[in-house]
Amino acid sequence: MKTIYQHRKHIAVGLIGGIISLLSLSCTKDILDTEPQTSISELSAYSTPDKVLAQVNNLYYRIQRPNFYGGRYVLFSEQRGEEFSQNSGNAAEGALIWQHTALSTDSFVGDLWSLAYQAINNANIFIDRVGNENVVSGAIKDQYLAEAKFVRALS
C-alpha cells in the first residue's frame, strides 16, 4: 500500500498519457473514410465491362421480383379473367383482385406500381450512363442498350 502511495504521481501521469494517446489515435480521419463493403460508388458502377454486364443483369432482376413479373403481375392479370376461380374465399391479397374490390391505396397495388417505376428508372439511368461512356462499344453496347430499352418498355 505504501508503494502505491509513493508512486501515485507516476501512475497518474501514465494514465493521463495513455488516455491522451488513445484519444489522438481515435481522431484520425483514415478510420472514418472507408469504402462501403455492401455497395459500390456511382463512378465505379460502370467502370469495367464486367460491371456494365452486372448492371444489365440487375435490370432483369428488377422485373423478375415476386411482387412484379415474378408473381403478382401475372397472377393479378389472371385473376381478373373469366377462367380463374377462387374457391377458397380467403382474405388474401389476390381475393380483392378477384372480387374487383382492390383500391389504389392497397399496399400490394402500390408495391406493384412502385416496382414497375423503379425498373423504368433503373433502365433510364443505365441508358444514360452506358450511352455516354465508352467502357463497352460496338455490338455489345448496342445489345446492352437494346436490352435496357426492352426492360423499360416491358415495365
The confidence score (pLDDT) of residue 111 equals 80
First CA to last CA distance, the chain? 79
pTM listed for this prediction: 0.66
Residue 88's SS3 state is: coil
Q: State how far the alpha carbon of 63 is from the alpha carbons of 17, 58, 68, 71, in Å.
A: 59, 9, 6, 10
Q: Give 40-154's CATH code, choosing from 1.10.3470.10, 1.10.1040.10, 2.30.33.40, 1.25.40.390.
A: 1.25.40.390
The model's confidence at residue 44, banded by pLDDT at 50, 70 and 90, is confident
The Cα–Cα gap between 57 and 110 comes to 25
Please give the helix or strand (H or E) that residue 118 lies within, else none: helix 107-132
Count Cβ atoms below 10 Å from residue 69 Cβ, excluding itself. Answer: 19
DSSP label at residue 70? T
State the average pLDDT over residues 69-81. 75
The model's confidence at residue 148, banded by pLDDT at 50, 70 and 90, is very high
State the cell numbers at 134: 465508352
